[in-house]
Structure 1
């Protein structure tokens, strides 16, 4: 066979990854097809592209790499050692792309797709399971990826594209997000069962100005609401303990370590008394949020419509 000149790479710096990917990516499927058939004419017929296009594509691929991938024998080809090495990686890469395409198509399927849904810890025991049960009555095969977190962390994950929708409080007001108020939840002042106020049913929050509070950590929506309500009542709460979950705070109250403003529990907890706050109006709004301008897949659109239909009836009574 006559001597073949080694192709000169068209890349000035072989380490320039972005340039080499941009050059090579459109030709990888062509290369895999020719390598599989070892015949340009047959590969062109199988892939439905002109033979001349395929021949130019292979020549340019070798020029881009600066490596001979094929040994030519008239109308037939055979892979060089470099070509066999390259084919192994190309097959792997194309397989990953095919699997990724299958995955995103499956996630977007109207009947069996996936919804990435975030919600507050306090809604995980009863509210969210009830919502999912009701939604799946009409969409039995839609899958969910569920994330429990505090509000700000969920909004960060919305912005990062990790979540499609989230239930959060307070309802966010940001230009890059769309949010809709769905319901509100009354907050109660939770005190130890042997506390001086435990015999009461109602209380003005100002009457707890001298109490020690246990709260969620800064950054949690309920912590911000607690601080704002206490400020409206004319005092700044003296915080002794900060936690990450409402039920942990109830346990601290039951142990006599302070009082707390909390939403109603899923089941009554012994050792505490829960008082209705008459002033100021102690509620937290619950809303659904999503990324503005972000297109919805059919399952996400269906679940969003379902949530919006639950306005005023989101939370158990």
Structure 2
């Protein structure tokens, strides 16, 4: 007798076939794009919504003055939306934090670091000296405002507290952008955690102190893309201009220069 095909086997076979078909279609689309011009067309960018965007807004405006026939589509997304659209070839580039374990198979992808980041403890305890690292158990006495639980920075915080065998601080509110977090901190006196770049760009508007954690919570901001994308002329030209722009003035300096005033 022949071997019976279980429903689970059939489902796995269909899923594998679907992925193969999507892979062929994506490759074909990229190969077509590789024959296009470096100075015309469209670039789809997915931008992590919890990242400060002022430096990128300024760069895209600069890029437009050089390449007015290249249309940039810049969309704020969650990290799960970003990975889904990368997988389906609906965006060309993602700007996000790494390392990210949302996707298990990195083989089709590559990344380019933009800056190194560190998560800072934002608080109102003026007995803590400036720049002194704060232990996790000392960061739990006051309630916190945080990102939603499925956001990258919330995930990194939970992992850091878990590794130190310390319970997460009491959460009293959740918001999806750093601007909202800071406005809540300023109005209520609760604590939070923010990337170094955002704090440095807005520290004069943040009514709280910043200290590193001990041990530190490090990560990076990076471009993520399918490997074939760099063979598309306008994507390669975009990267070249990005590197040139931030070599003239570094990312953090651009961020500070183009920062958006926080709401009152």
Q: Tell me the equivalent position of 1:117.
A: 45
Give 1:145 shift. Answer: 0.6
Residue 267 of structure 1 aligns to a residue in which SS?
Answer: helix
Range that drifts further, 301-310 or 166-175: 301-310
Q: Tell me the equivalent position of 2:216.
A: 281
For 1:216 and 1:198, the matched residues in 2 are separated by 26
Residue 316 of structure 1 aligns to a residue in which SS?
Answer: helix
Please give the root-mean-square deviation of Cα atoms over the aligned residues, in Å.
3.1
**CA gap 1:231/1:292 in 2 versus in 1, 3 angstroms:** same
Residue 188 of structure 2 aligns to a residue in which SS?
Answer: coil
Gaps of 5+ in 2: 1-31, 254-264
Give 1:223 shift. Answer: 1.2
Q: Tell me the equivalent position of 1:189.
A: 121
Decide whether the 8 Å contact of 2:125 with 2:209 is kept in 1.
no
TM-score, normalised to structure 1, is: 0.56
Give 1:216 shift. Answer: 0.8
Structure with the bigger RCO (C-alpha within 8 Å, sep 6+) is 2
Q: Tell me the equivalent position of 2:130.
A: 201
Q: State which structure, 1 or 2, has the greater radius of gyration over its C-alpha atoms.
A: 1
**CA gap 1:235/1:198 in 2 versus in 1, 3 angstroms:** same
Give 1:255 shift. Answer: 2.9
Deviations 1:75-108 (A, max 9, x none): xxxxxxxxxxxxxxxxxxxxxxxxxxxxx98x94
Task: Establish whether residue 302 from structure 1 lines up as the match of residue 230 from structure 2.
Answer: no
**CA gap 1:198/1:248 in 2 versus in 1, 3 angstroms:** farther
For residue 167 of structure 2, the aligned residue among 231, 236, 249 is 236
Residue 155 of structure 2 aligns to a residue in which SS?
Answer: helix
Gaps of 5+ in 1: 1-103
Aligned residues: 209
Give 1:226 shift. Answer: 1.8
Q: Tell me the equivalent position of 2:252.
A: 316
For 1:226 and 1:315, the matched residues in 2 are separated by 24
For 2:111 and 2:230, the matched residues in 1 are separated by 15
Give 1:308 shift. Answer: 5.8
For residue 142 of structure 1, the aligned residue among 70, 85, 94 is 70
Q: Tell me the equivalent position of 2:181.
A: 249
For 1:129 and 1:271, the matched residues in 2 are separated by 22
Q: Tell me the equivalent position of 1:175.
A: 107
Decide whether the 8 Å contact of 1:204 with 1:279 is kept in 2.
yes
Aligned 1:78-93 pairs, distance under 5 A = none
Decide whether the 8 Å contact of 1:212 with 1:237 is kept in 2.
no
Residue 110 of structure 1 aligns to a residue in which SS?
Answer: coil
TM-score, normalised to structure 2, is: 0.66
